[in-house]
């Protein structure tokens, strides 16, 4: 697959084919790192560390303030089956 370097305003750019973006799960506004190595351009998707809050909101598909919280002090996990010391 080839691409042509084009002038965009005061910059230059290339268009990345839709299939490559889909294969790499790259979407609009994703952060990418770009560098040169051995006369090649390397572009990688930056993987942002997600906080527990980010993960919960993504899982429940709502803000953390709208997620129902359990009011449980202790959870019974059954009888000991080994040499656990509590």
In a domain, 75, yes or no: no
Q: What is the pLDDT along the chain (86 residues), one digit of tens a residue?
A: 888 999 999 999 999 999 999 999 999 999 999 999 999 999 998 887 889 999 999 999 999 999 988 888 887 888 888 887 76
- Largest CA-CA distance found in the chain, in angstroms, rounded: 70
Contact assessment for residue 33 and residue 22, using Cβ atoms and an 8 Å cutoff = no
Distance CA 44, CA 20 (A): 12
In a domain, 17, yes or no: yes
In a domain, 80, yes or no: no
In a domain, 85, yes or no: no
* CATH number for the domain harbouring residue 44: 2.10.260.10
Distance CA 65, CA 57 (A): 9
Q: Which domain holds residue 7?
A: 1-70
In a domain, 45, yes or no: yes
């Amino acid at each position: 697959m080839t691409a042509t370097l084009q002038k965009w305003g005061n910059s230059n750019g290339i268009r990345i084919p839709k299939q490559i973006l889909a294969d790499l799960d790259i979407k609009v506004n994703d952060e990418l790192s770009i560098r040169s190595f051995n006369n090649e351009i390397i572009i990688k998707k930056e993987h942002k560390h997600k906080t527990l809050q980010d993960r919960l909101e993504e899982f429940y598909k709502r803000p953390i303030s709208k997620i129902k919280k359990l009011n449980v002090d202790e959870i019974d996990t059954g009888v000991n089956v080994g040499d656990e010391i509590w």
